[in-house]
Amino acid sequence: MTAAATTAEPYTTVIGLEVHVQLQTRTKLFCGCPTTFGAPPNTQVCPTCLGLPGSLPVMNRHAFELAVRAALALDCKIASFTKWDRKNYFYPDLPKGYQISQYDLPFSSDGCLEVIDPKGGFSRKVGIIRVHLEEDAGKSMHDEAAGTADSRIDLNRAGTPLCEIVSQPDLRSPQEARAWLNELKLLLVYLGVSDCNMQEGSLRVDANVNLHIPQPDGRIAKTPIVEIKNMNSFRSVERALTYEAARQWEEWQATKVELGKMPKQTRGWDDPAGITRPQRQKEESSDYRYFPEPDLVPVTVSEAELAAARAAMGEPPAVLRKALEAKWKISAYDADVLVNQGRELVAYFEDLATRVGEGKAASNWMQQDVLRTLNERGGTIAEFPVRPEQVADIIARVKNGEFDTSRGREIFAEVLATGKGVADVVAGLGIAAVSDDELVTLCKELLAANPKIVADVQGGKEQAAAGLIGQAKKKNPNVNPGKVRQMCLDLIRGM
């Protein structure tokens, strides 16, 4: 984290985010069309999502349930009564000429999501202004066929359920914004609310940013708020905000134009160029001529439905981190690494830790061997060929002194490569526990060959015994270094 750089700046960067997530439903928000990604253009449409005259929308209750689950996990108040509104605007990929959204009575509001840097860089409680539901528009495709200047419309996405999450302007740096988005995404995936697949457009981010600049008279000057659109990765969000803060600082120094002196500006992020560019001026909400959707009844939410949504939530990431720390006595950093990999990996870890009987060794093996290998290979933890009982077996054998950790790593790699069981691999590598008699014989040979080390130890320098370990491993790679050391010390004391 660039905490030092942030405090050195003569201004505070103030950031609020608007996140659109596609809900994980099989069908659209107001019709039965599938939401499957990647189908040929305009094959997942019907009279309702095409906006044909006479067609009527019917709300997908499952989409509503998922949205309520997300809002509860974000600590929002859920309205017992909520309604739908038409947001009117003209755009080629919006066949009805309006989008069904929620205006003055969103289904939830007043929430909070905290983000904590496990390395201690920052911790920030970010307020949630509102969470509402709306349908997505279609997709315009420009110049897709080489050599033509065609624009085409794909309406497969029109009517897909979106949850819009609007934060308070509580974030104070581009790094915080990125970390908060990571936490939000993790939460939504944990909840089963969205797959948050950014390549498929399941999660999109707009950011509002301006600067608060302390003045010599004690007043805080605020620069005009800029909304940045068109960001398709969290890395882009961080870069765009960093760029925009610097740009606003330069502009402020040149113009001294403050918030309220010009309309809110919308800028687009050009990722390859690494800059933001001005876009059309954003409509004020009066320009959208919102009015209640006459074809849909308002939605009421019962206490029983809220209880069901709470029951379906499971442990959110923040709760799970604390639980792992307490139960398995691992550090906040280790818990963070494990939880950030998803619920399945946490289940793998807990299975392993239960078998091993403690968390620290399990956590070390998870991070140094399982996770590292998983990242190299790709795929999910469910498909990972080495199972928790096998890792637990290796750890137990290391603890028993059958072999040391580096030997254990070789065995782990061999189990992974061959699919054999741990016992077979151990036998195949010629690894056998060294008997006490063998160990005594070997240590006696070592002491006879190293009178200098023996003299050093006798003179009080016990650490000199370390010089015997490498020699012991050369004679017999199966020996346990700890046992060799102890045996040699015991033999020297008995001399």
Closer CB to Zn ion, 56 or 308, in the complex: 56
User: In sequence order, what DSSP letters do the residues of 206-224 get, joined into one string?
Assistant: EEEEEEEEE-TTS-EEEPP
Q: Which of 427, 474, 429 is nearest to 450 (CA)?
A: 474
Interface segment toward Zn ion; rule CB under 5 A; list 24-32, 76-84, 93-101, 462-470: 24-32
**Nearest residue (CB) to Zn ion, 31 versus 318:** 31
Of 13-21, 28-36, 278-286, 351-359, which segment contacts Zn ion by CB under 5 A? 28-36
CA atoms of 484 and 465, how far apart (whole Å): 9
Q: How many residues at the interface with Zn ion, by CB under 5 A?
A: 5
* Closest approach of Zn ion to the CB of residue 30, in Å: 8
Q: For Zn ion, give the closer residue by CB, 33 or 226.
A: 33
137 binds Zn ion (CB under 5 A): no
- Cβ(133)–Cβ(67) below 8 Å: yes
155 binds Zn ion per the rule CB under 5 A: no
Taking the complex as a whole, the smallest distance from the CB of residue 44 to Zn ion amounts, in Å, to: 7
Q: Pick from 102, 85, 101, 94: which is nearest to 51 by CA?
A: 94
Rounded to whole angstroms, the Cα distance separating 319 from 304 reads 24
Nearer to Zn ion, 136 or 244 (CB): 136
Write the interaction track for Zn ion spanning residues 49-78; mark x where CB under 5 A is met and - where it is not. Answer: x-----------------------------
Phi and psi (nearest 5°) for 277?
-130, 145
Please give the helix or strand (H or E) that residue 310 lies within, else none: helix 303-311
Residue 152 backbone class (left: φ over 0; alpha: ψ -120 to 50; beta: rest): beta
**Cβ-Cβ contacts under 8 Å for 279 (sequence gap 6 or more):** 229, 266, 267, 268
Output the six-digit token pair for 39: 């189908």
- String of contacts with Zn ion for each residue 90-109, x by CB under 5 A: --------------------
Nearer to Zn ion, 48 or 230 (CB): 48
Q: Which is nearer to Zn ion, 49 or 366 (CB)?
A: 49
46 binds Zn ion (CB under 5 A): yes
Binding part of the chain for Zn ion, among 38-46, 112-120, 162-170, 326-334 by CB under 5 A, reads 38-46
Within the chain, what is the greatest distance between any pair of CA atoms?
Answer: 102
For tokens 């818990």, the residue is 335
Tell the smallest beta-carbon distance from residue 51 to Zn ion (Å).
Answer: 10
SS3 137: coil
33 forms part of the interface with Zn ion (CB under 5 A): yes
Does position 31 bind Zn ion by CB under 5 A? Answer: yes
**Interface residues with Zn ion (CB under 5 A)?**
31, 33, 46, 48-49
